[in-house]
Copies of this chain bind each other. A is one copy, B any other.
Amino acid sequence: MNSVVAINHRARSSEQKALRRHAVLETAEMYFKEVGYETFSMAQLAKKAGLAKGTLYLYFKTREELFLTLYEQSLIRWSQTFIETLSNTMTSKAYAQSLYKTTQADGVFLPLLIRLEHVIEHNVSIPRLVESKRVFIHQVEAIAEVTSSALRLNTEQALEVVKTMGVLLIGATQTDQSPALDNEELPTDVQHLITSFSSEPLFTKNAARIIEGIRAEGISGV
């Protein structure tokens, strides 16, 4: 039940506070993976972390600032993982597949990315938002640099690819968020619709089209 193992009693030094904050984030991530964004409650998190609800608000101003922190962590974590999968010469398809696969493997990144702009950012202080955007800029630039050599594009093109992949990813994985209707309670026409919106081919096919489009524009000088 109690996931706060680092500190048993009061956190006094800033070091101890950082540890406690970290422990809360770990518990929150586990809990989030269990129940998802909408069901996640601060009272439940407090219980799971072995703290009182009020204590959570000593470490995070709002529920959304907590989620923004989780998002940042997952963005950084995923970026590193993705970059490690990139080699010096790749096809657009291989690039897109690796991007898709690594985002899917991280159980936190995509669900938070999808909710970032229309939910999470709306209950967060402006300085905190600015800080988060800067983390985003930094990660995008890091990915763009490796993308440049992976796909043999100039810096500008690589940057556009990375930004566009993010956009496409959000759109393509939207369908994965539908309620799980494992059983065969759906009529065949609707089942067919759902399979035709399968996110994996939807993403990889169009990612390749976009990358090739950007590459072609670079050649012709558009």
Residues of A within 8 A of B (CB): 37-38, 111, 114-119, 121-122, 126, 129-130, 133-134, 136-137, 163-164, 166-172, 174-179, 181, 185-187, 189-190, 193, 196-197, 202, 206, 208-210, 212-214
- B179 in contact with A170 (CB, 8 Å): no
Nearest-Cβ distance from residue A114 to partner chain B, whole angstroms: 6
- A38 in contact with B122 (CB, 8 Å): yes
- B170 in contact with A130 (CB, 8 Å): no
Main secondary structure on A side of the interface with B: helix
Residues of B within 8 A of A174 (CB): 116-118, 167, 170
CA distance A168 to B174 in the complex (A): 11
CA distance A164 to B133 in the complex (A): 28
Residues of B within 8 A of A208 (CB): 213
Nearest-Cβ distance from residue A180 to partner chain B, whole angstroms: 10
Residues of B within 8 A of A133 (CB): 190, 193
Residues of B within 8 A of A163 (CB): 196-197, 202
CA distance A176 to B190 in the complex (A): 30
Excluding A118-B177, A168-B171, 8 further A-B contacts by CB distance (< 8 Å) are: A37-B118, A137-B190, A164-B206, A167-B168, A167-B197, A167-B202, A206-B210, A210-B213
